[in-house]
A and B are shown apart, each in its own frame.
Chain A
Amino acid sequence: MPWIIKYRPKHVNDVVNQDEAKQKLIAWLKAWEEGKVEKKAVLLHGPAGCGKTSLVEALARTFKYQLFEMNASDSRRKADIERIAKMASQTSGLTGRKLILLDEVDGLDPHADEGGVEALLGVIKNTRNPIIMTANNPYREHLRPLREVAEVIQMKRLSEKDVVSVLEKICKAENLTCDPAALKEIAKRSEGDMRSAINDLEAAAALNKKVTVDTVKATTAYRNRVYAPWEALQKLFNATYIFQAKEATTSTDLSHDEFITWINEHIPTYYETPEEIWRAYEALSRADVYLGRIIKSQNWDLLSYALEMMGPGVAFARTAYKYKWKPFKMPERIKLLAESRRSREYREALAEILAARLLTSKAIVMSDVIPYLRVIFTQNPAYAAKIARGYRLPEELVTWLAGPRAKEVLGYVKKPKK
């Protein structure tokens, strides 16, 4: 049996150093029991090998849930999702309480699995059992609907110390002679990925029962890591060499235009002086110009320049080097755009109606017509109602235009003043 399975945590207490996530999950399960749960699903995220799946399995074992597991990235067929949906919609019966685990939802391909996210939303809406989804990176655009309906719980990247402590236990259980420096080397190379650390220990031990730094170096290689956006930003802003800053731009699984949004957000939270902020933005602005040219010309040769401006250009905007640890939160703009989506759809719909009648483009309607229309709708409801009738504007567009005076306008639309 591979060691990563053999040494999976059996009890919640065996899961190392994730107390905050544990507490949140336990509280959420308790709320489910009591029927007081606010969000019916959890989106549990964290870097590879930090113990997401293990934690869920340990929870199920500790609190006696029957665990139903589906790996979202290899069960793309509608039938699988329907099977899960059916199970989720049934209340716990004689078999005991159920817990549903949808592993690796970020593996849902936004293009190939069109409808995959929608199907999961349906499952969550109708479920009568707790659902936990896991993801390495929950910030990809196509996962936004899932973020909205689920409680988002973050797990940390494990420290070297955490990894070493688990490796030591395994050494003992397997009767190996392990040089502490060797375990430290494995932990360092794992960068907090427990799964890869255990695999590396197993590989080194297969060579020799005595695990030394040399056997570790002979059997393990550095892996190409995928970082969470904030980790990549940490590396980018604190880079000491050009290559580090450039690598950071491609070390997440976000697309370039998604990652540039994160950099854009955090230039003024990381840098303090106007001088540095401007220099960093000047570089980012150049990066954006290259990205624009790539889109228009499909000349992907330019990508390297864009990445160099995004990474090193922003990192070396500093006037003096000082390692700074800063929290890099989810960009405010992503949230704002999600919240205002409805409103932007209304504006678009109204522009389409009026552009055809006023013989002009939607862009002109948005910049030149709608602002004045809003004045009429917020200042003179009776007159606004006449215009609403003239263009047969649907109720939701009238409501959007009139804002606080929507009721009055709609009243006049229904009962025109003589």
Chain B
Amino acid sequence: MSELLWAEKYRPETLDEVVNQKEIVERLKRFVAEKNIPHMLFAGPPGTGKTTIAHALAHDLYGKNYRQYMLELNASDERKIEVIRTKVKEFARSRVVGEVPFKIVLLDEADNMTSDAQQALRRLMELYSGSTRFILTANYPSKIIEPIQSRCAVFRFTSLKREDVVGRLSYICSQEKVACDEKALNVIYEISEGDMRRAINILQSAAALGEVNEDVVYKVVGLAHPKEVREMIQLALSGNFIEARKKLRDLMINYGLSGVDVIKQVHREIFNHEVKLPDEVKVMIADYAGEIQFRLVEGADDEIQLNAFLARLSLLGRKVKV
């Protein structure tokens, strides 16, 4: 007996199986009927189906063995444009036989590429446009350079609606024969912020603990997300910088969080009403958190940036006497 992660098990394989992003799916089905697609940019928040729909589209175009006609690259895992260039060149070289006269390059998280790399990508798109189509996905389309945007048909994916997520989750519950409380599914939707993948992950680990109710969902989320973030904030605010830094190292080294993950979680925590701070201090912290997130992207060493943030917290904490 074996089991898969439900995020994989319940991923729609064809465009017909996709339950949301209705307009986008309709347009894509027309491309399939014509057996031709333009270069495309799928833009929208994480977990809204961009990559899944790209795969479903390829499936409908080429059939079950579609993956031999598609090159999948992830820009955040392969940052070097040389790697991308070599792989694309290799892949585009052979011509396709069959009804569809092109192959697909799926470049995920393209907004993680520097603008120089994107310029190089633009040239690749021109060079191989005879034999390949590019599908790019991005969370932030504004980070894609204009020349690429203008060469692509842009599809804007919207956050999943509550009924879409809850509906899908209860469908999975019934398939898996797990008792799922309606309230619990709503809580999962709220925690996952409309990210279907995250919602399904939470559901599966809650189900592993037994019946899915509100308490279990909170318990699972608590287990998955280290409490160290809140403890770290409290330590820093109380002026204990060195201990706060220890927690930070625990988060980054042992839990494997990136600097940006940490600052985002901190940001969420600060606005949590359980953190007792004067409102104007929360505003100052949020401002500096934003600055630090920017420097994390610009800089080289995540820990140094976050230490600067923690040092700022201990200074502010001293001033407001928490």
Is A367's CB under 8 angstroms from B257's CB? yes
In the complex, per-residue mask of A321-364: 1 if CB is within 8 Å of any chain B CB, else 0: 00000000000110011001001100100000011011111111
Asked if A260 lies at the interface with its beta carbon under 8 angstroms from chain B, I say yes
Binding site for A on B (CB under 8 A): 1-5, 7-8, 11, 46, 51-52, 55, 72, 74, 76-77, 108-109, 114, 195, 197-198, 201-202, 204-205, 208-209, 220, 223-225, 239, 241-242, 245, 249, 253-258, 261, 292, 295, 298-301, 303-305, 307-308, 311-312, 314-315, 317-318
A355 contacts B55, C-beta separation under 8 Å: no
B224 contacts A375, C-beta separation under 8 Å? yes
Whole-angstrom distance between the Cβ of B294 and the nearest chain A Cβ: 9
- Which residues of chain A are near B314, meaning CB under 8 Å? 274, 277-278
Interchain CA distance A295-B301 in the complex, whole Å: 11
Q: A372-B201, A390-B4 are in contact. Are A343 and B311 (CB under 8 A)?
A: no
Q: B114 — nearest CB in chain A belongs to which residue?
A: A296
Is A264 a contact partner of B224 (Cβ separation < 8 A)?
Answer: no
Q: A274-B315, A285-B305, A285-B308 are in contact. Are A387 and B245 (CB under 8 A)?
A: no
A-chain residues with CB within 8 Å of residue B205 when the two chains form the complex: 372-373, 375-376, 379
- Kindly identify which residue among A293, A340, A374, A383 contacts B253, using a CB–CB cutoff of 8 Å: A340
Binding site of B, secondary structure by majority: helix, strand, loop or mixed?
Answer: helix
Inter-chain contact A387/B51, CB cutoff 8 Å: no
Cβ of A397 < 8 Å from any Cβ of B? no
Cross-chain contact of B318 among A274, A368, A387, A389 (Cβ < 8 A): A274
Shortest Cβ gap from B13 to chain A (Å): 12
Q: Which residue of B lies closest to A367 (CB)?
A: B261
Query: Does A292 count as interface, using CB distance less than 8 angstroms?
Result: yes
Which of B46, B55, B77, B195 interacts with A362 by CB under 8 Å?
A: B77
A372 to B206, CA, bound (A): 9
Minimum distance in angstroms from B140 CB to a CB of chain A: 15
CB of A153 closer than 8 Å to a CB of B: no
Q: Is the CB of B204 within 8 A of A372?
A: yes
Contacts of A361 in B (CB 8 A): 74, 76-77, 108-109
Q: A264-B307, A379-B209 are in contact. Are A368 and B198 (CB under 8 A)?
A: yes
**Bound state CA distance, A332 and B258, in angstroms?**
19
Given the known interface contacts A278-B311, A336-B249, the answer about A369 and B300 at a Cβ–Cβ threshold of 8 Å is no
Complex Cα spacing A416 to B3, Å: 12
* Chain A residue, CB-CB nearest to B224: A371
Residue of B nearest to A284 (CB): B304
Give chain A nearest CB distance to B82 CB in angstroms: 15
The CA-CA distance from A358 to B1 in the complex, in Å, is: 20
Q: A292-B299, A366-B256 are in contact. Are A268 and B239 (CB under 8 A)?
A: no
Closest Cβ of chain B: how far from A167's Cβ, in Å? Answer: 44
A-B contacts, 11 of them at CB < 8 A, read: A264-B301, A291-B300, A292-B298, A295-B300, A347-B256, A364-B46, A366-B256, A368-B195, A374-B223, A379-B209, A387-B3
Given A274-B241, A367-B258, A375-B223; A281-B5 close (CB under 8 Å): no
B307 touches A281 (CB 8 A): yes
Contact B1 A389, beta carbon cutoff 8 Å: yes
Q: Is the CB of B197 within 8 A of A368?
A: yes
Q: Are the CB atoms of A268 and B245 closer together than 8 Å?
A: yes
Known: A359-B11, A375-B205. 7 other contacts (CB 8 A): A275-B315, A280-B311, A292-B298, A332-B249, A360-B74, A366-B258, A390-B4
A293 near B3: Cβ-Cβ < 8 Å = no
Known: A292-B300, A372-B201. A336 touches B253 (CB 8 A): yes
